[in-house]
Amino acid sequence: MRKNLGVQPALFPMPVVIVAAYGADGSICAMNAAWAQICAMDKIALFIDADHKTTKNIMETRAFTVNIADVSNMAPADFFGIATGNKMPDKFERSGCHAVKSAFVNAPVITEFPVALECEFAEEIETKHMHAIVGRIVNVSAEERVIGDKNKILPEEVNALIFDQYRSGYFAVGEKVGQAWNAGKDLMKG
């Protein structure tokens, strides 16, 4: 039997990503953004408010990275969601993380996180119900340990954090249980 629960942001899983950008002065700003989604083969949408320091930096520099948070870096990833760059100018330094400049866009790649999508600003979308930053993915960089055959990322090696919106918890990506475009092919028959 099903039970009605009312309105909730009940989508699971939600990847935990750390969005990073340079400020006009070259400082690094980073934020935890659980509401991010691939929206085309070379585009990502970040559903983040316009008043975030990181959003302001993206609008100034026209570039950003989306760093996939992993279990071993849960504390700094969570800190990037707790602290605000608008009130804590040394937020990135306090995290203990390090960054290198992307070779493809004017944005920092956080070296502690195993995968980074390096993006150029493509579009800002502002409607009555939504604010989003869309980026064009220029490059994906990853630690060699998380790369498999044909340069494909191995999710089980990334050990990515997943945000649980039901209870505000973190989970880890589990085991592979099937193959897409194959698990349901028998249902195509007949």
CATH of the domain at 146: 2.30.110.10
* Residue 142, domain member (yes or no): yes
* Residue 3, domain member (yes or no): no
Q: Give the pLDDT of residue 13.
A: 86
pLDDT confidence band for 48 (50 / 70 / 90): very high
Task: Kindly tell me if the per-residue pLDDT of 190 is higher than 80.
Answer: no
How high does pLDDT run on average in the chain? 94
pLDDT confidence band for 34 (50 / 70 / 90): confident
Predicted structure pTM score: 0.94
The helix (run of H) or strand (run of E) holding residue 82 is helix 74-82
Closest to 137 in 3D by CA, of 50, 65, 60, 83: 65
Domain count, the chain: 1
Task: Name the residue range of residue 28's domain.
Answer: 14-188
Task: Kindly tell me if the per-residue pLDDT of 115 is higher than 90.
Answer: yes
* Residue 92, domain member (yes or no): yes
* Residue 7, domain member (yes or no): no
Q: % helix / strand / coil in the chain, to the nearest 5? A: 20, 35, 40
* Residue 1, domain member (yes or no): no
